Amino acid sequence: MTDRKLDRVAVTGGAGFLGGALITRLIDDGVSVAALARTPAKLSRFDGQIDIVPGDLADETAIARAADGADAVLHLAALTHARTRAAFGAANIEGSANVARGAFAAGAFLVAVSSIAARQPELSDYAASKAGGEAATLAAARAHDKRMGAETNQAARARWAILRAPALYGPNDGATLPLLKAVRFGIAPAPAHKPAPRASILYVDDMAAAIVSAAREAPAGVVYDVGDERPEGRTWAEIAADLGVAMGRKPLVAPMPKPLLLAQAAVQELIAHARGEAAFVSRGKIREFFHPDWVAGEPSLAAATSWAPTTPLVEGFAKTLKWYQERGLI
């Protein structure tokens, strides 16, 4: 375990669900933040607290400006929904390569947030793009090391860690809202699959803490899984039961057949395509939903650093529910 200086960081994806939680954590820790933002107005709630650098993942000049003087570059920005494989690739693969090159050129430690979905790139265009983003980061590191003669100069080596995040939930997460609404009415959808698929699921603030811990402590050059407090993971029925406790409900688990959901997703894709949009639920997402094992494994970030998840699932769901209720969304 190392102890790296973390006075200033560059962040991509700060306007997103996880990014907002991370920037809040960094500000609370007294860390100076430069946030790359395609739409700076989306970071207006942090006005006066961070430096905003206009630009996107294709803008290598803007990436270099954000990374200049940073001890670490925390790369969160990614597409989770897109119309085409090429669109996923432009953001999640080419964008990751651009950020990695910018971080290494600045001498910063790179923490690249990936997804456990990268373990199964055949399931969806999204999963393939996350695996591709990891490969692009490693390729950028190798190219940097070769250019800098790192074989004989260890201090010149590219320094990086990749974090494969599990399913995340928490306030301001649009993906959680449909599940909250379903459980509110006593229904908990789950994949009709035996054995029941299992997954790790982590509260967003715990993931933000994991990223900061990785930047400070994680040994470099490793792809880490980030898990929750239950090493064996949970089934969807178990997740729904904990959500039910938080909501004062006892939901009925409704097994959903894969062919039906694939057909519905195909229709959604056609409608979205006609509108020039990306489908929120694609066939790839359905295949991910039915995959039997999304449980975090090894190497584990928790084993390599002092980080550990601190938010039990029921408590996290209660916080999430309160956030939505306060805004009249449920």
The amino acid present at 298, given as its one-letter code, is E
What's residue 1's pLDDT? 63
Using pLDDT thresholds of 50, 70 and 90, give the confidence band for residue 40: very high
Q: What is the mean pLDDT of residues 58-81?
A: 97
d(CA 199, CA 287): 14
| pTM > 0.85: yes or no | yes
Query: Topology of 8-173+201-232+295-311 in CATH?
Result: Rossmann fold (3.40.50)
pLDDT range class, residue 209, cuts 50, 70, 90: very high
The residue extents of the domains of the chain are 8-173+201-232+295-311
- Is the pLDDT at 185 greater than 90? The verdict is no
Whole-angstrom Cα distance, residue 223 to residue 228?
17
Is the dihedral angle over the CA atoms 204, 329, 288, 120 positive or is it negative? negative
